[in-house]
Structures are given as C-alpha cells and as structure tokens.
Amino acid sequence: MINRYTLCLLLALSILSGCKGVDTEDNPNTSSNNEPPPDYTGPAAQDDDVTRFKENVWENLRANNRCGNCHDQDSSNLAFVRGDNINLAYDAALTIVNRTDPGSSEMVTKVAAGHNCWETNNTICDNNITTYLNDWFNPNNPLPGNSDIELVAPDIKDPTGGKRLPTDSALFSTTIWPLLTQYCADCHSEEANFPQAPYIAQSDVNVAYDAVRSGRRLDLNNPADSRIAVRVREEFHNCWGDCQANADELTAAIQLFSDGVPVSVIDPDFVISKALNLYQDGIVASGGNRFDDHLIAHYELKSGTGDTLYDTSGIEPALNLILAGNEGSDYQWVGGWGIELFSTSARGTTTASAKLAERLKNTNAYTIEAWLVPANISQEGPARIISYSANTTERNFTLGQTLYNYNFAQRSGSSTSNADINGNPLLSTADDEEVLQATQQHVAITYSGTEGRKIFVNGVLVASETDSQGDNLNDWDGNYALLFGAEADGSSPWEGRLRMVAIHERALTEEQVQQNMAAGVGERYFLLFSISHLISVPDSYIFLEVSQFDNHSYLFHTPQYISLNETPGVINFAIKGMQIGINGDESAIGQVYKNLELQVDSNIFNLSPYGTIIPLQEGPNLDEFFLTFEQLGSHSNVVIEPIPAQPAMPADGEKQPRIGLRTFAEINASMSILTDVPITQSDVQETYEAVKQQLPSSSRIDGFLASHQIAIAQLAVEYCNALVDDATLRSNYFPGFDFSATSNIAFDTAEKRDLLLDPMILRINGSHLATQPDPAIIKQELNNLIDRLTSCGGSCSSDRTFSVAKGSCAALLASAVMTVQ
C-alpha cells in the first residue's frame, strides 16, 4: 500500500510544466535587427551565480530580436539584459524569476502569454526560457531526474452518460455538412486550388465526416464549444459575414446534429469508481528520469499544428526544421506528441545545422536518439529516418531503414578508416534478427572515437563495430542540412511516426540509453480513480498511468492501489474483474484487467504489470473515464458472459499458390551452397550488395517480377564465374572435365558433356523430390544451350570452353530449379 501524499516515482520534473499565462497585452516582436550584440566590456560578475546567469540567461536573451531591443540600459523597461553592467542586469532579473519553480517565473509566463516571442509558437519561447532558468538555478542538475511528483486528490464526480458520434455520416450530411461545403470548401477540400487540411468540406461526405471525427472538432454535449464554432467565433477564421452570426449558425447546426444523437445511460448494475478526464483531472507524468546532460538538439514534437518542428534544447542556434508539403496529405501531427510522415521531409537550414558539425567535431562523439514507429517493414534505400547530408552521395551521418534493419552511415575523417564521404560501409542490424518492427521502438545510434559505432534498439545493443578506434569527424562538412524523413532532394523517403528525437554531443553509455528508454515518451498523465465510496478505507484510489497513444487510442498501464490518507487503517478487500469505462459504457476492446482477481492488503498494492490500449472516442478534452468491477470489497456485479454465437462457415478465400520464392538472403545462401563459392568472395559480395534491393523480398510467387529475374541472373553469373575461374573449385566440382580443350573438342560427345552437366544437375536440382524438374529434361535444355554456344565454326575463342561452362552453370542456377521452393 502507498499511503503518502507524494509519491517519489523517480520521474523528471519537466522543465516545460506548470506554466500558466497571465493576462498581458500581446506585444509582438517588431525588431528586424538581427545583428549579433557587441561583446561585453562592463564590470566582471561579482560572484558565481551572476556568472551562471550571464552564461545561461543573459547571453541567450540579449539579442535585439529577443529581449535586447526593449530591456537594455537605454530603455525604460526592466533592464535584465542590459549590456553595460551584468551585475545590474542580474539584480533586475531576480525580480521576475522564481528559483523554486522556474516555469512559473514572470519572465516565462509573460512570454507564454504572447509578449515578444521570437518563435511563431509562444510555447516554444516558454520552454526555452524555462530551460535557460533551470540551467542557471541548477548548474549540477539542470534537468532534475529524481523529483517527487505530488499526487493530489482529484475532484470527486460521478460518471455520466453522454453522447457518442455516430459511426455513419447520415445525420452529419443533413445538418453540419451543408454549411461546411457552402462556406469552407474553397480551402478545406482536396478539390480546392490550395487545399488545406482538415478536409471537413470535402464533396465526399464520408471523407468530410471522418475529418471532423478524427479531429474531435464537435462537442455534442456543449455545441458552442465545438472547435469549428470556436475557430470562427473567437479566432475570426475565414468568416463569410459577421463572425458571431456565422458561429451561431454553425452552433445551431451542431445542436441539431446533437439532438439526433441518443444519450448513453450507465448500467445501474455496474460497480463503478468515480470519473476522471485526462486533461482536467490528470497529473502530468511526462519527462521521466532522462539523461540529457549533453543535449544539443531536442525535438519533443509537442506543437500539434503548423509546419515547424522546434528544437527545444536551449542550445543556440535553435535548429528548427520546416516540414515540406501539406498537413493531412504529406504529414500529420499525432495526438500525445509526435509527427507522422507520409513520403515528405522536415529540413533545417544549413546555418543552424552547422552547430552539429562544429560541436561534434570537438567531442568526436555523439548520439542520435529517437522514439519512432516505422509505417512498415518493406522500406528500402535505406529510407532516411534522420540524416545530416547534402544529397544521395554525401553525408555526415544517417539513421536509415532497410526492410527489418536499421542502418547507420557515418562519414569519417580518419585516413585509416574505410568510410567514404557517403558514410559507407553501413553498420546494420542483422538480417536474421529482424530487429526493426512496425511498432513503437526506442532507437539510439552512438559513436565515439574509442568505441566506434553502435546501434541500440529498446535499450539492447544490437550492432557494433570494433575496428574504428582512432577514427575522427574532422572531415565532416558543416554546409549540410539536418533532415527527417528523406534526402534533401526528397529521395529515399521514410514513412512512419517520430515521437521524439534528441541529439547528444557524447556517446551515451548502455546504461544511459536504457535510462532514457525507461523514461518513456509522449504526453503522459497519472489518473487517480476514487473507490473510497466502495470500501471502508478513506482516500482510496486505483492509480494508472494514461497517455494518448496516437490519434485513435489511449494507453493505460500498471494499475496500483493507493491511499492518500496518512492513517488509512486496516487494508483488506477483494478486487475482481476490473474494466475500463469510457463515456458511460465499458470499452468494447482492450480489457486486459478483466481477469484480475486478488486480495488487496498492506503488502499488495501493485494490481497488474500489464498495459492495454482502448479506442479514443471524443478526444482527451472530452472523453470521461471510470472503472467497473465484478467485485470490489462487499460490492459485486455478477457478470454472465454471453455464449458466443456459432460463427458461420467462412467463405472460401482466394486459392493460394502451393509454391513460393526464395527471398534475397535465401537466394544468396542457396547459390553459395550449390556452387561451393563462399558468400564472402569479393566479386560475389560486391554483386550481391549491388542487386540485393532488386531481389525478391517476399516469398509470394504471384509477386515475382521480371526485374527479380534479372537480378537473380546477375548474381548467378557471378557465382558461376567464381566457380569456374577457381582451379581448385572447378576440379573438385567437375572431376574429369577437360577445361583446357577447345570448345569444339570439349563438348563433341555426350560423355564429355555429362562430365560438366551431371554434377551441376545433381547439386542444383537435387534428388528424391517428386516435384523437382525431370533431370532428363534439364539436361536436354542445357545440351540445346551448349549447341548454340559452340556453333561458331572454327572461329571460337580460346576461352570459349570456360564461357560455355559458366553460361550453362548460370542458366541452371538462375532458373526456377533454384528460385522456387
């Protein structure tokens, strides 16, 4: 049992939390003077605290396009970035900062409310100034990782029913959609001259309704609070007349729609907890115990809108990335923090990107860390996930994907290194381990001059090199750009979600990588579901960590029992069959705690180690959660599971082929075994790497293409060349065949030909399989080929015998005899 008012969870106190804006006049940044401020020549800092203020706050804010234009010694405003006396600037700053809670400092909240933010998003300025203050106040621990998070009892409220958006668009088509298509189609439709997502005014009503539903733009319980009405009424977005009247018209249509949606009623037999809303009642849990001491670029991807991925590391210059294309079709923001890329890229300027080359050359070490979700396991190229490069042939580093593998390319400045200016050879995860999966993963690639490159996936070291000691980054080019999702020209696109990206100027240790993975990612909350009314223990709660997993679901995990009462008394009650409720009913799926059954006492408070995902309905602003129980203490609701209906006989599916293909790695391994030529033979290895992406990646026979056969033939020719050109291999493989004879002699009898053909047919075609091709037919086809290849009269070249042998070998090795399995 946990019975304290605070719960030390070893989670980081997020530097971005706790900021509430105040009512201030929106005072935009009108300065166009981006000249760097002059060097400081005033009195020396009077103590170490002033020095830290100067290094972390004053230096970052004194530029004229930030605070220096209004808050210097020549202004009547508070001169906390004055350039003539750092000690006086320090004294001024002390009046607008809060050392115990930097995020609530007036210096932060005023900018958060719109005062002179130098970015297009006030939250980013809020975050950056909070970071500067943390670095000033906490020099040894700027991002504290062992802070208590105070668990505060939520407001007690009963679950209500509520309304759910219908699954079909019929009601929408007669109420809201006519207004949207009449007044919003010039922008919010794919048919518009300059289409802008969301496509809520699409001519296809189903597409429009999906856009409205997925964006949670309707509030059926309070129609006036619906996003599409607020956007017109309060933000004056493309009004078609009087904004208030237009918003009222939209609100009336939403009300008409809402009136047609029935209210769900909670089953009176349910044994239920009290209710909670994620944003209103949740306690922020994000920003766990991360190791970020050497962070130089950080993309938390919190914006949720716009075309900019902000660097919130606080290390200048900010390396912000701009997304190419249109939101909705080329990229999409992900609920709970993140961005999903659909064959597009985000790009930083070469000027801002130069800080990577400058800083990483000095440390000769770095880490690229990302939480990501690959869209699939069929991407090749490698597809560029994160790249610091100029084009397809020049780069400093790249994290990429090839099918099931992560790839790490890095340019080296060492004369002894094998790495070229394109970062080859790649360090890749092993083919047979299939490490990369289309699910959320924590990936970190690290490099140091002493330990070389490493790849970690979900905290596990999965690939490393040991021959790179002495390498350096001196040859890195500072004119390249940092890119997410593709090369600079848009080639080699990667599809998937990025949840967070961090760049460190040191190689994280395995323990530090695991620490950052354990800290988690995204917007996470603690929910305390009150159950005091059901058991005789005061201030009792079921505690869960909850986050929005993506645009369609919530993640719940690791439920615990806690009491916030210091003297709760005797703890002893039964709990059985816990389920998650949302908007008046139990979720239809994701009920992983349904089979929970245990007795809770003072020694047991962890209820389950598991997590689960349930569907999102109205969005985190509106969805209301509660818990139901088959038994909790003396209260019970006997649940009789209905007998499932006998499923109908499934219809016959499409008839599947009885044969399949060998895939790229299987083809390479098979050719090696069938010819006795090792896969490491230099010419074979070079050819395989060149044609690998053209070889079959799937075993489905109906996916076989002409391009596959061309690649197979190229690889077969190289294996047969290696076999016939090696005297030892060919003498062991073809004993008795005379390679020194001219072609008109070497193949002039059936017996001589058999000395070449029989070993190949036996090895490649095999025996004892009823479905294998008839050896006699194979031999006849190869004899016909030899006839054509030796039909040159007396003008055959001296090496014709070798050529005929290689051609016969390649014809058989590249045929369906080997390819089909």
- The two three-digit tokens of residue 546, written as one number: 């909850």
pLDDT of residue 88: 93
Domain range summary for the chain, segments of one domain joined by +:
6-147, 170-259, 295-519, 524-636, 664-819
pLDDT of residue 33: 47
Say if residues 748 and 774 touch (Cβ distance below 8 Å): no
Confidence of residue 3 (pLDDT cuts 50, 70, 90): very low
Cβ-based burial of 272 (10 A; exposed 0-12, middle 13-18, buried ≥19): buried
pLDDT of residue 197: 79
Paired strand residues for 386: 399, 484
Find out whether the peptide bond into 382 is cis, omega within 30 degrees of 0.
Answer: yes
Helix (H, G, I), strand (E, B) or coil at 731: helix
| 524-636 is classed CATH 2.60.40 | yes
Question: What is the maximum span of the chain, computed from C-alpha positions, in angstroms?
Answer: 107
Angle at 732 between CA 727 and CA 738, to 5 degrees: 65
Question: Over the chain, what is the mean pLDDT?
Answer: 87
CA 148 – CA 427 distance, rounded (Å): 41
Confidence of residue 603 (pLDDT cuts 50, 70, 90): confident
Is pLDDT at 633 greater than 70 in this prediction? yes
Alpha-carbon distances of 774 from 583, 752, 761, 769, 812, rounded to whole Å: 68, 21, 10, 10, 13
CA 78 – CA 707 distance, rounded (Å): 71
Paired strand residues for 325: none
Q: Determine if the pTM surpasses 0.75.
A: no
* 242 CB-side CA count, 13 A: 4
CA 488 – CA 472 distance, rounded (Å): 25
Say if residues 403 and 377 touch (Cβ distance below 8 Å): yes
Q: How many CB atoms lie within 10 A of CB 443?
A: 27
Say if residues 449 and 469 touch (Cβ distance below 8 Å): yes
Name the range with the highest mean pLDDT among 205-214, 503-512, 640-649, 763-772.
Answer: 503-512
- Residue percentage of the chain with pLDDT more than 90: 56
Q: How far apart are the first and last CA of the chain?
A: 59
Q: Which fold has domain 295-519?
A: Jelly Rolls (2.60.120)
Say if residues 488 and 477 touch (Cβ distance below 8 Å): no
Paired strand residues for 631: 576, 636
Pick the closest to residue 78 from 96, 53, 64 (CA basis): 96
The radius of gyration of the chain from alpha carbons, rounded to an integer in Å, stands at 34
Find out whether the peptide bond into 36 is cis, omega within 30 degrees of 0.
Answer: no
pLDDT in tens, 405-461: 999 999 986 544 556 899 999 999 999 999 999 999 999 999 998 889 999 999 999
Give the single-character DSSP code of 536: S
Helix (H) or strand (E) holding 8: strand 6-11
Say if residues 96 and 80 touch (Cβ distance below 8 Å): yes
